[in-house]
Amino acid sequence: MRLGATSWQVPGTYLDNARLLAGHASFSELLVYTWNDELRSMLEQEWDDMSRLLEVSVHLPADSLEHAAAALRFFSDREVLRYTVHPVREVAALRDFLRSGVDMVGERLCLENLENDVFGEVMPSVADIPFSVTLDYGHLLFMGAESEPFLDMYADRIRELHFHGYDGVDCHVAPDEPTITRFGEILETWFQDEPLMPVCVETFDWDVTRSVLDTLAARSVVTAAD
């Protein structure tokens, strides 16, 4: 499996963070919070240098489906592992986005489970569209949800995994040892035959992220930097 981390570890640009991750991870998950001319210009300027350092996965904007669609169009002709998008309750708009997105990038477009019930609410209304799923394990912890039912239902569609801890208040924090152990068991049980599966450490403090990357890289089921 490919082991990566988010593009926000230290203040700076996407390229600044890619340089930090290089040597510790195989890919960077670009956190694209919104879409505007300034962000587009930055990405155009940094893309070539960044993609020479690491492979890239993209987290599409979550502020609106319109911004997510614009970002997807920008990235669609570039070498990107996966495109993760948040579900919304407006089913008609979500269906339109997912259909057009799958037409552009195929099964690399992934719908993510969140820290709420929206994913489960909308899936029955969009599941006929052949998009994939990003399993966010930390969000399952936050929701108090067991992983097995989610995996039983969606394992065949999962194309990216996000990993972080939950401390009883916040997620996207350092995972404790039982959480790391359980996640390792999930990787070994469900995804050991998926050598190209991206596994992203979704923490935003470099000391924490580097420690988790090193811990996961010690497991034979994941691959850190080449």
Q: What domains, with CATH codes, occur in the chain?
A: 2-217 (3.20.20.150)
Tens of pLDDT along 122-169?
999 999 999 999 999 999 999 999 999 999 999 999 999 999 999 999
Supply angle C-alpha 61, 63, 69, rounded to 5: 50
Average pLDDT, stretch 93-119?
99
Q: Is the pLDDT of residue 71 over 70?
A: yes
Angle of helix 177-190 versus helix 206-217 axis, rounded to 10: 50
Tell me what pLDDT residue 221 has: 57
Average pLDDT, stretch 86-95?
99
Within its chain, how far is the Cα of 88 from the centroid? 17
Tell me what pLDDT residue 219 has: 73
200-130-72-196 Cα dihedral, nearest 10 degrees: 30
Q: Where are the alpha helices (DSSP H) in 79-169?
A: 91-105, 118-126, 137-143, 147-154
pLDDT interval class at 218 (50, 70, 90) = confident
